[in-house]
Amino acid sequence: MLSIKTISRLEKGERDSYPEATIGTAEAMYQWAPGSFDSVLRGGQPDPLVVAPARERNPITTEHAPPTSGERIASWVYVRMRQLGYGEDAIHEFIAAEGLPREPTTVSSVSRIAEVTGASLAEILALLGVEDINAHRNLPPAGGGNVAGGLKS
């Protein structure tokens, strides 16, 4: 999430650089491809984020439904890996292995995405709309055991 003040600064071009997490969040918010933010800061145009069609989308939703966070991250990973020189087969193999376009739910899957794309964990988490990973970790209940639905490492 970005504050109103940060969004205002971005839109007015008040600074020459921003933290990676801010850049990732802004690109996701405006549905721009990775690298678009730097292009805009240099006076260029952003590239739209091309959302890869999901294989099995919920039949209740229409093709015009906004992309899920998992679909956005899958598209972002695709564009970022292409920029880094990965081939189509390697990209699709990675996306399939990570279970994308489902939203990554573990710290290790977010770490693997960051590693292959060269992004920081903060940038990946910002793209997923997670401000603080520790706020999303569930501690085991007293007496041990796992809490369902929590992020695991």
Q: 125 near 131, Cβ under 8 Å?
A: yes
Report the pLDDT value the prediction gives residue 1, as an integer from 0 to 100: 67
**Residues forming a β-bridge with 32:** 48
pLDDT reported for residue 56: 57
Is-contact 83 34, C-beta < 8 A? yes
- Token pair 């990946």 in the structure block, residue: 124
Residue 55: the pLDDT is: 55
* pLDDT (tens digit per residue) in 64-90: 666 777 778 888 888 888 888 999 899
Q: What is the pLDDT of residues 4-46, one digit of tens each?
A: 888 888 888 788 778 888 888 888 888 888 888 888 878 889 8
Task: Show the CA angle centred on residue 66, arms to residues 78 and 125, nearest 5°.
Answer: 50
Better-predicted residue by pLDDT, 1 or 141: 1
Higher per-residue confidence, 49 vs 1: 49
- Residues 152, 106 contacting (CB under 8 angstroms): yes
* C-alpha to C-alpha distance for 2 and 5, rounded to whole angstroms: 8
- Of 123, 145, 146, 140, the closest CA to residue 20 belongs to 123
